[in-house]
Amino acid sequence: MTAPDLPADAGPVAIICGGGTFPFTVADALTRSGRGAVLFALRGWADPERVQHYPHHWAHVAQLGRFLRLARREGCRDVIFIGTLVRPSFRQLINFDLATLRVLPRAIRHFYGGDNHLLTGMARMLEEHGFRLLGAHEVAPEILVQEGALGQVVPTARDRDDIAHALDVLHAIGPLDIGQGVVVANRHVIAVEAAEGTDQMLERVAELRRNGRFRAPLGTGVLVKAPKPGQDHRFDLPSIGPYTIDGIAQAGLAGLAVAAGGVIVAEPQIVVQKADKAKAFVFGFPETAGGSA
């Protein structure tokens, strides 16, 4: 099935492919829909084992010219950008090509402006070259977390209170392009995610339990993830996966709540299995949900 506004003759989708499993989930969905995908696998990030099973080209992160040439030759018009991508160093940027060189001053500005600026800037550059940047969720909506509980456990009233408080925090920091995750227990903010990412933040919460700085009973506290307000959903949506549930369990939290329709989930069956086993909830709240009034 093709998404309504995407005619099947639009050609395969160019997937600029970072690390992790999401790019392959999306490529599989595009294959099933008959539209097809071509991976532009980023060296150093994309998993070579898995890339080889798809139509693909390897590229360096700064080879914009190479990407434009190959994507046109493949008949791609739509581009999605998916997968983990740790901010590149300038050393990696030394591999830039001519087209990149031309946009380099702008790229540097984006590079230093926070993740939102970086990615919005890349989208604009692609569009100036005649491509259309789509979100992975537009071509494979099944990767998004839906509203309600994913597994058998549901949040208690106290958990919902913590979720509301966490949303207050995310709304307060949202305009500042900081992060997409926060851990709250009994209305006390335990951790705020910034450059370290969700997994490392959860490791920190587990450590705070071990060293006595976070003493709420096991099974107390929530991780809440949501896109930044105004965040462009076409890339860099927050994501969860089986490893997130492992982190929740090790941190002794009650569960994980995410903005439904605004967070992508890797391997949802395994996520549900692990969450049920850990007696943790995985809950999608309406993305318009505010914090406490």
Q: Which segment (73-81, 82-90, 98-106, 261-269) binds a copy of itself by CB under 8 A?
A: 82-90
Q: Which is nearer to a copy of itself, 137 or 225 (CB)?
A: 225
| Interaction between residue 97 and a copy of itself (CB under 8 A) | no
DSSP state of 276: H
Residue 1 burial (10 A CB sphere; 0-12, 13-18, 19+): exposed
Q: Which segment (57-65, 74-82, 179-187, 223-231) binds a copy of itself by CB under 8 A?
A: 179-187
How many residues in the shown chain lie near a copy of itself by CB under 8 A? Answer: 39
Backbone angles phi, psi at 248, to 5 degrees: -55, -45
Which member of 191, 251, 253, 260 binds a copy of itself (CB under 8 A)? 191
Q: Whole-angstrom Cα distance, residue 77 to residue 13? A: 7
Buried b (16+ CB within 10 A) or exposed e, 4-17: eebeeeebbbbbbb
Q: Whole-angstrom Cα distance, residue 134 to residue 116? A: 16
Q: Which segment (53-61, 65-73, 86-94, 240-248) binds a copy of itself by CB under 8 A?
A: 86-94
SS3 137: helix
| Interaction between residue 195 and a copy of itself (CB under 8 A) | yes
Which member of 168, 267, 276, 287 binds a copy of itself (CB under 8 A)? 168
Report the interface residues with a copy of itself, using CB under 8 A.
Answer: 86-90, 112-114, 165, 168-169, 172-173, 175-179, 183, 186-197, 200, 204, 207-208, 212-215
